[in-house]
Amino acid sequence: MVAAIKTINCNFIGDFKVGDNMLANATALCRLSSQNEQRIFNKLIVVQSGSIVEAALDQIIYRAQNYTKEGVPNIPDETLKKIRDTKIERFNNIIQAMKKHRLLDGLGVDIYKQLDRLREFRNRIHIQFDDVPAGADRDDSKAFTDVAVVESLALCTSVLDYLAKTYPRPKELGVYAHDISIPQG
Quick: pLDDT tens for 69-122.
888 999 999 999 999 998 887 999 999 999 999 999 999 999 999 999 999 999
β-sheet bridge partners, residue 179: 9
What's the CA gap between 45 and 77, in Å, rounded? Answer: 37
- Whole-model pTM: value is 0.91
Concatenate the DSSP letters of all residues of 17-61 into one string.
HHHHHHHHHHHHHHHHHHT-GGGTTHHHHHHHHHHHHHHHHHHHH
How many structural domains comprise the chain?
1
Q: CA 92, 56, 28, 4 torsion: positive or negative?
A: positive
What's the CA gap between 16 and 34, in Å, rounded? Answer: 27
Low-confidence ranges of the chain (pLDDT < 50): 1
* Predicted local distance difference test score (pLDDT) of residue 3: 64
* Predicted local distance difference test score (pLDDT) of residue 127: 73
Domain that holds residue 52: 4-184
Query: Would you say how long the chain is, in residues?
Result: 185
* Predicted local distance difference test score (pLDDT) of residue 92: 94
